[in-house]
A = this chain, B = another copy of it.
Amino acid sequence: MPDLTPSSRAERRRSTERRILDAARGLFAERGYERTTIRAVATSAGVDPALVMQYFGNKQELFRRSVHTPLDRSADGLETPADLLLATLGVKLAGLPETSLAMLRSMLTHPEAAEAVRAGLNTQIDEIAEAVAGEDARLRAALTVMLMVGVTIGHQLLDIEALRDASPERIAAVLRPAVQALIEP
C-alpha cells in the first residue's frame, strides 16, 4: 500500500528511518517513554526490532531523535511578544505537534524528557520575562508559561471535559484577561 517503487537504497533507508521515527514519536506521545517498547515501535513501523537498534543504537537515542524538532520554531521556542501567547496557545490546543506531546507526556517520569522540557520552558520564560516590567518579571513569566502548560495538559493529555468541549477561541478569550493580569502588573 505504500509506494510500490523499491527506489534506490539510499531512499529506502531514509524512508524506513522516517517510518520508524514517526512510529516512535506517535507511541511516545501516546504512552510516554517507559510504556513505549522498541518492539512496539518496530511493529508499528513494520520492521524488525533489531533494525531500530541498528539505526538508533539505543532507546534513549531513539527518543531523542523522535522528539527532535528540526526547524519548527513555533513548536516550543515560540516567538512570544507577550500577547501572541494566546495565539500560540490556540495552536497548541488545536493540536500540539507530536514531538511536544511526547515530551510533555514523558516529562514527569523520564529524567531526560524532564530536562528537555525544563530547558524549553526556561527559554520561554526568559523570552517572556523580557517583555514584562517590574521586579517580578521572571516569576510572572513563569506563572504565565505554567498556566499554558497546565491548560495544555488538561486539554491534550488528561482530556478534561470542560476543556475538550470548549473551542480554542473561547478558551483564548476567557484566558486573555488572566494572562494580561499576569504579565501587566
Contacts and interface: CB of A to CB of B under 8 A. Distances in A.
A75 interface: no
Contacts of A140: 174
Main secondary structure of the interface of A (DSSP, over half): helix
Q: How many copies of this chain sit in the oligomeric assembly?
A: 2
Closest 10 CB pairs between A and B?
Answer: A150-B150, A142-B162, A32-B109, A146-B150, A177-B181, A34-B34, A146-B154, A178-B178, A178-B181, A138-B162
Nearest to A115: B158
Contacts of A138: 162
Contacts of A108: 32, 104-109, 153, 157-158
A18 interface: no
Contacts of A159: 118
6 contacts: A33-B109, A35-B109, A118-B159, A145-B154, A147-B147, A175-B182
